[in-house]
Structure 1
Amino acid sequence: MAHTPVNHPARPIYRAIGGLVGLYFVVFGVLGIIASAGNDVLAQNDTTILGQGTNTGYSLLAVLFGLVMLAGTVIGRNLDVAVNQWLAYALMVLGLAELAFIRTDANIFNFSIATVIVTLGLSLVLLMVGMYGKVGTDEEQEAWEKARLVL
């Protein structure tokens, strides 16, 4: 049995937060595509959007991630929970990888420290949203409540 709560009272708020994170990624990505127009896809230059380093490649990836988050939020039915959790893990791996390569030629997405911090922060928000947004039947909620009281 999963240890995430079922039918948490604040799940509509968590779902809205997930949608806002997706919207942020879409807006950031679109602004990044506009700002890095004419550059190479994986250019390593001084292009910044909202104080974060980016290039066309990362901007396209951000738009893709944001659209997937928004689609999961709109569809709901626990698809948003899975989408948010998996994208949170993917963003954590991406942020940590870019942190490891930030001052090398392997920094293919032109990350800055600010980009790493925002990426890792939003991944933690998505993970929280994924953990508390689960919807289930009354029986599943009752089983979860009984299981959490057992030590």
Structure 2
Amino acid sequence: MRLHDELPVDHRLGQVYRYGAGLGGLFLIAFGILGLVGDSPGFIDTTGKQVLGMSSNGALSVLSLVAGGILILGAIIGGNIASDINMIMGVLFVLAGFVGLMVLDSSANRLAFHIGNVVFSFAFGFVILAFGMYGRVSSHLPQDNPYWKRRREHEREREAERPNGPPVLVKVLRPGPPNPTGH
């Protein structure tokens, strides 16, 4: 499925993309600000300090501010842009969860990830990803959904291009095994 601008600008699904991006962005900005204020552990310190139940250092705080700003920018723009941004950011957070899981308790843990950060990255990533995909990706879209209409439009065009028109189902009768009852 191609993800382009099939939805009208004022479609109600745009609110899901916007609110999802906005709330997620606000949380990340709060996390980033709280990680930078007070007793900061250092920019790439591997131990970090506790912020909202997770560990943070200066680098993770700055990355959180940038990610939050991108999500809020998507919420301001709205529409399919917000959906696309949510999907991209969701995938990045899930990947960050995997990377954080790989570097736990090692010297390569430059963002001071602990298990709480890993769980948050997975959960936040999947939630933001779901916000971005809402109404765009499904096998059972309602018929009034613009994506359903768009998909069916391509199918009708392909059928119209066939020289013999739409396919016709033909039942072929084949001789079967002899009937033991004789009927």
Bin the TM-score by the shorter chain.
Answer: 0.7 to 0.9
Tell me which residue corresponds to 1:26.
Answer: 29
- Residue identity in the other structure for 1:116: V
Equivalent residues, number: 144
Say if 1:72 and 1:80, in contact at 8 Å, map to a contact too. yes
Say if 1:6 and 1:132, in contact at 8 Å, map to a contact too. no
How far apart in 1 are the matches of 2:133 and 2:110? 31
Matches within 5 A, 1:120-135: 120-132=122-134
Structure with the bigger RCO (C-alpha within 8 Å, sep 6+) is 1
- Give the drift of 1:142: 2.0
- Give the drift of 1:12: 1.6
Which deviates the most, 63-72 or 13-22? 13-22
How far apart in 2 are the matches of 1:9 and 1:111? 37
Deviations 1:56-84 (CA, angstroms, capped at 9, x unpaired): 00010000000000001111131111111
TM-score when normalising by structure 1: 0.81
TM-score when normalising by structure 2: 0.68
Matches within 5 A, 1:41-60: 41-60=43-62
Q: Is there any run of 5+ residues in structure 1 with no aligned partner, and where?
A: none
- Give the drift of 1:11: 4.3
Instruction: Pick the aligned partner of 2:112 from 106, 110, 113.
Output: 110
Identity %: 25
The 1:145–1:104 alpha-carbon spacing in structure 2 relative to 1, beyond 3 Å, is same
Tell me which residue corresponds to 1:85.
Answer: 87
Q: Is there any run of 5+ residues in structure 2 with no aligned partner, and where?
A: 137-144, 155-183
How far apart in 1 are the matches of 2:134 and 2:72? 17
How far apart in 2 are the matches of 1:36 and 1:2? 47
Tell me which residue corresponds to 2:15.
Answer: 12
Say if 1:29 and 1:61, in contact at 8 Å, map to a contact too. yes
Tell me which residue corresponds to 2:69.
Answer: 67
Decide which structure has the larger Cα Rg and report it: 2
